[in-house]
Every structure is written in structure tokens, then in C-alpha cells.
Amino acid sequence: MVAPVSSASPAAPAADPARQQQLRQAAEAFEALFLRQMIGGMRQAKLTQDDLFSSDATEQFQSMADSQLADNMAAESSFGIAELLLKQFGNAVK
């Protein structure tokens, strides 16, 4: 005979700090990716068609600078996307 399962469960164990750190890194990586896409979209919406100093090399370095800017903004939690993801998924990680 199987004993009935009690609806009251013992206190949930504390989340593993290593898993929480992995979740934080993933949330910050997602925020950085989101910000890169947003900055890239803003850059494509420029009003002028031809720049005097425009070239493929300039565009590549501008893209690298945009990526670094997005990474820095995500690390500083400028937009708070990572924090919202941690609140949403933090309790699910054990």
C-alpha cells in the first residue's frame, strides 16, 4: 500500500550558490545580447546615408564598440533586464 503524499512539504532547500551564479551570468548575457540588438537597430536608423569616413573597417570597429558598450551596460544592470530575469527564474533554480 502506498502512503498518501502530504500537501505540506518541508522547507525548500536553499539554492546552490554556484547555480545562482550561473543563472546571473546567463541573465547578464541575455541582457547584453538584447542591448546589442537595440543599439544595432538604433545605429541602422541613422538619418544620413553617406558619411565622409564610412568604410567596412569603420563599421566593424563601431560594431565592436557597440558590443563592448552593451556588455558594460549589462554588467552595471543599467536596464535591469537581468534583475527581472533573476526574480522570475531565481526560485526555479535549486
Q: Is residue 29 part of a domain?
A: yes
The pLDDT of residue 9 is: 40
Looking at the structure of the chain, the number of domains it has is 1
Q: Is residue 3 part of a domain?
A: no
What contacts 24+ positions apart, CB below 8 Å, involve 75-83?
A: 75/28, 75/32, 77/31, 79/31, 79/34, 79/35, 81/27, 81/30, 81/31, 81/34, 82/24, 82/27, 82/28, 82/30, 82/31, 83/27
**Domain housing 26:** 17-45+54-92
Mean pLDDT by 10 residues, the chain (94 residues): 44 68 89 90 72 77 90 84 86 69
Q: Is residue 8 part of a domain?
A: no
The pLDDT of residue 34 is: 92
Q: Is residue 85 part of a domain?
A: yes
The pLDDT of residue 94 is: 61
Query: What pTM, to 2 d.p., does this model score?
Result: 0.66
The pLDDT of residue 2 is: 46
Q: Is residue 11 part of a domain?
A: no
